Structure 1
């Protein structure tokens, strides 16, 4: 252990090694990559290499943030094997940086959130469900000490109401509980960066990582906040912001509660959540004419009126331009009249229905869903709902003797089989060896090659013969140097010239796709393919973290195996100084989960940074 003065060492280190001035030490810096670390007692140690120097920088900053002037530098941490270090940082550091509560401490942090900087007033609205008196009283009392305004939501929340508060955006309350006479927020994990709220499907994947790291209490708390949202807002929200009140996200609630229950064995907790999960299934997903279509399959179908308020200024200019020119108006003038209702435009209404539904799908944005989403029975959604039905069937049969609150396991077995048969009939393509989204308006498959076409492997709804065909197709169409791409290269070739790069499409890859496909491969015993895809993904994360000061971002270009993604919205998690405080939620989870799937031989290769192209 070496004791060094933090400020003087930091200054000397950055002056010598951070040649581009971004307060990180990466392979792009042109310093000597050889630093003489001197202790306060005069001892010295040479630290060589980008990775080792960035580790030193991180260790200094961690201890500075703890309020220290003198740092104890452990040489073992400087030369720590990469996979061990990344995993340790996620487990012991990043999860803490991503954990929030909706009590006073959490509200203070939200007031400074960049999404609130544009508020016309300096007061943050906190919207509270009509029936939550504890939350209303608690936040009302905070108004004397914090710049917030407590707003009680109406008993029935309509799209018209949500539109009426779009110019007063605020945060939605989550679960509070009274402990020893004091109100505390039930914790939740956020994705990171500008995503400083509890997001729908992100939360499930984060919970998988939390469980891997022995933090089941946090995974359980995430489920408790899901339950609060369903009971008070009618759905699991896209995120707990006021403009998301009419929009849900891909359903993973049953998977979350049963994975938590497998560890806690708390049957009372399971009973409570099972009631809520069935309620969500019935009232959010199985309402005819909404998210349930006439053919018995489901679609994403978000409600709302007009432009999505969270979109960046100018995002819809290309869509609005021809209508504005036809009306001899500027884009802004046309948009204002459309939003106020002065101009009616059914074509735009339909476009924004699809756009909201695309965002509800979590895949915002992808050419697969652009301007068509609400007309699609998607493979992904129907696989997730099959998993709900399967979970209900097996849990009721196993833990409730076949009957739960009037629901019989036999019923759930029946509906899951019926869904599988409908998917087989309308979505399975024998020639192409995969499932495709089904356009129920045109009554045809889309034939769009996507990672989401393989969710049936995760859900367990295919037979062995189909699984073998799917895995062969998967490895041929979507496997890239860094893992599975969101869509295939051939789909990009079909796009118009100069088409915008959509972030969920080729060449980009995303953690939820990898994690679901890994579990699907494991379900069906495809051990070799599983290890290869896990290794490719973890290698890419490890290589980028080693070369770029511990960077763990939202997404990757899996073709080039880099975090340098050139697509809409940028790449959250790359903009930090000295040390990432958080990584990125589901990326952290994919790393921790992936490590559990590799044996020691592959772990040794990973720590030695053996390129996957040398192994496979």
Structure 2
């Protein structure tokens, strides 16, 4: 059976009856009758009968389907009843596969440039596109577009991009060019919401979902864009915005390459050879340059360069910090007329005053953002002094992946390097991590402060990256499994940090978005895979279920919402820490969800047992099952 009717008339009637709070959604917060009568027809559209759509989920499905039909320019819709009364998990998964990935895809070319350059992050009427000096093809192509787009300003970057230069263009923000192929932009997937740029570690996790949904074209394209960034910007960027030029992100490139090529070897060995060479270049020049991101003890840190206050933050984000520094500076300089926050910030930014301690604070802050965990009390005002567990686990995985790829596809030798060379690097890193980071008593790895020469003992989901990377022993993994479940497991999955850490650091200021009680998709996905690698099926099933239940419950109750993050304690998408929650603002339907959240749902469904899948369809609470 199927609904057939006028879209606009039906929309208005449906909203008038069921959308009682006027937000253009149908949610559990609405107080309508939750029952809407429609006429349905047989497949031949000849036999009609009345049908009542019941409940928040089915009503919001109907609203979404009407919106999709309207977006196609139709005035009359024919919608199968099976879509209106589609089960929650099937609907979420289908929407991700059929709609969300395409809606999140961008290109920087004539076809896609306007959408990117006129987004909410553009600060004036000028649409700036920065192009590397080394990309002659890009310079020529993008300059040719200025006749079509009169507000487009193409800026050629200097060959030597310094922190001083990046600071000089902070008031002239713009998008950084990515790869072109036959005068078409190589596509990439953005996180969602306000984001129109390609982010570092988001892209890998999106790639996991893309591969599951048969979109190897997009997964491969993002690797190609990463390689472009390494070749022309010297690193995989935090994201391709001008103010990120001195900042990278967590390294997942080898995992991305390995997963794409192993599932689609038809891409060809020529491509594999090219991207492997570029990945090794990134490893050696970005991560293994001593004194920058490689410290004296042989382990790594995040270390983002830059000058002054990071410009991408919302106004007021640093007010508390600036107020404290302004007060201290005034007292130290014996200034009787104290600075206000604004006058102090202006004087600091333009170089009128020098505050080395504040320089150090912002080095830590930029490095924290480079880590992808922006922000967390774990890294606040200390990040650049830490050998962090997450980064060193990822680089161990790089070294193991290099060894595997060289051994498997290049007979053990590649461009003068052997698979044994990379395995020895991995072995050395593993020994150092076990010496400096492993805590037998507490059953987990901890970040290591190399200046204080001590572990931080900060309980965080990032402490469990060694499970995913496969660098721990079975005994260590067993201890970590127990600690993880005791410290970080909440009703909706794994929290970013423990309740204990929240209690200890609450005095320092506002809640940080990567900390308790919030949970994030990349942590869940890495923990699941890590636990499975060591045979912990029971714990994996429970954690997958908790996370998918929370996503499904929120989508059912709130018009299909798939946001950036969740409060895993209250199991809600209503998260207001720092930057709020991206992906929650939409009318009628979300057509994109959020990149790595979409991926976590698709990945989780592949792991969940048939029995738990049935229980998920029935939305049985984790409290009833575990």
TMscore range, shorter length: over 0.9
Residue of structure 1 in register with 2:181 after alignment? 177
Is the deviation greater in 101-110 or in 299-308? 101-110
Residue of structure 2 in register with 1:55 after alignment? 61
Contact 1:127 1:153 in 2 (8 A): yes
Q: Does 1:125 align with 2:135?
A: no
Q: Does 1:542 align with 2:544?
A: no
Q: Does 1:323 align with 2:325?
A: yes
Contact 1:197 1:240 in 2 (8 A): yes
User: Match of 1:73, SS?
Assistant: strand
Among 144, 148, 160, the alignment partner of 1:145 is 148
The gaps in structure 2 that reach 5 residues or longer are: none
Residue of structure 2 in register with 1:300 after alignment? 302
Contact 2:554 2:572 in 1 (8 A): yes
User: Match of 1:143, SS?
Assistant: helix
Contact 1:518 1:533 in 2 (8 A): yes
Matching of residues 37-52 of structure 1 within 5 Å: 37-38=38-39, 43-52=49-58
Q: Does 1:513 align with 2:523?
A: yes
Distance 2:52 2:398 in 1: 56
Deviation at 1:395, TM superposition (A): 1.2
Q: TM-score, normalised by structure 1?
A: 0.98
Matching of residues 525-540 of structure 1 within 5 Å: 525-540=535-550
Residue of structure 2 in register with 1:239 after alignment? 239
Q: Does 1:115 align with 2:125?
A: no
Residue of structure 1 in register with 2:6 after alignment? 5
Residue of structure 2 in register with 1:99 after alignment? 105
User: Match of 2:148, SS?
Assistant: coil
User: Match of 2:147, SS?
Assistant: coil
Deviation at 1:496, TM superposition (A): 4.3
Root-mean-square deviation (Å): 1.1
Contact 1:159 1:304 in 2 (8 A): yes
Distance 2:282 2:174 in 1: 24
Contact 1:386 1:420 in 2 (8 A): yes
Distance 2:324 2:533 in 1: 50
Q: Are residues 496 and 512 of structure 1, via their aligned partners in 2, closer, same or farther at CA, if it must alter by over 3 Å?
A: closer
Distance 2:10 2:543 in 1: 41
Distance 2:76 2:613 in 1: 35
Contact 1:291 1:299 in 2 (8 A): yes
Matching of residues 225-236 of structure 1 within 5 Å: 225-236=225-236
Write the deviation string for residues 142-192 of structure 1: whole angstroms up to 9, x where unpaired: 1111121111111111101111111110010000111xxxx1011000000
Deviation at 1:38, TM superposition (A): 3.4
Contact 2:400 2:422 in 1 (8 A): yes
Distance 1:38 1:15 in 2: 18
Q: Does 1:586 align with 2:589?
A: no
Residue of structure 2 in register with 1:273 after alignment? 275
Write the deviation string for residues 328-372 of structure 1: whole angstroms up to 9, x where unpaired: 222111111111111000000000000000000000000000000
Distance 2:512 2:479 in 1: 28
Contact 1:4 1:39 in 2 (8 A): no
Distance 1:389 1:92 in 2: 36
Distance 1:240 1:323 in 2: 31
Write the deviation string for residues 581-615 of structure 1: whole angstroms up to 9, x where unpaired: 10000000000001110121111111111111111
Distance 1:55 1:309 in 2: 40
Q: Are residues 466 and 323 of structure 1, via their aligned partners in 2, closer, same or farther at CA, if it must alter by over 3 Å?
A: closer
Deviation at 1:566, TM superposition (A): 2.8
Deviation at 1:497, TM superposition (A): 3.2
Write the deviation string for residues 44-71 of structure 1: whole angstroms up to 9, x where unpaired: 3210100000000000000000111111
Deviation at 1:105, TM superposition (A): 2.1
The gaps in structure 1 that reach 5 residues or longer are: none
Contact 1:4 1:73 in 2 (8 A): no
Deviation at 1:39, TM superposition (A): 5.9
Deviation at 1:232, TM superposition (A): 0.4
Q: Does 1:218 align with 2:218?
A: yes
Distance 1:455 1:97 in 2: 31
In the comparison of the two structures, how many residue pairs are matched? 609
Write the deviation string for residues 238-270 of structure 1: whole angstroms up to 9, x where unpaired: 000000000000000000011110122121111
Distance 2:316 2:498 in 1: 29
Write the deviation string for residues 206-247 of structure 1: whole angstroms up to 9, x where unpaired: 000000101111100010000000000000000000000000
Contact 2:117 2:174 in 1 (8 A): no
Is the deviation greater in 277-286 or in 603-612? 603-612
User: Match of 1:610, SS?
Assistant: coil
User: Match of 1:104, SS?
Assistant: coil
Matching of residues 352-391 of structure 1 within 5 Å: 352-391=362-401
Deviation at 1:81, TM superposition (A): 1.2
